[in-house]
Amino acid sequence: MSRLRRLGCQPVQDNASTDFVKRFTNHEAEERRKKRAPSFTAEEHDALRKKLKTVHYISPNYADETKTNISVVRRKWKRFDFSVS
């Protein structure tokens, strides 16, 4: 049994804040669970795995500035890479 104490003129329980935190975290966890998509079944995982085997990588279309930056970085690496001779 928690002991009542007075803060100002209203009685306050000692463990009121811990009760609030527990209720709040439980509520937040339940809300996250509700928003989450349902888990895949084994058959759905297998179908997705088969589908992803046929996907091929498409190289990204970089902007000109990005291409310049990438080439500069590659040149720096080539300069300091002693294994490439």
Structure token pair of residue 37: 């998509």
Continuous segment of H or E residues that includes residue 4: strand 4-7
Distance from CA of residue 31 to its chain's centroid? 17
Contact 15, 4 (CB under 8 A): no
> Residue 11's pLDDT band (boundaries 50, 70, 90)?
low
pLDDT grade for 79, boundaries at 50, 70 and 90: confident
pTM for the predicted model, two decimal places: 0.33
For the cut 70, the answer to whether the pLDDT of residue 82 exceeds it is no
The span from the CA of 67 to the CA of 26, in Å, is 49
- pLDDT tens digits, residue range 16-71? 788 888 999 999 999 999 998 888 999 999 999 999 888 887 777 777 888 788 88
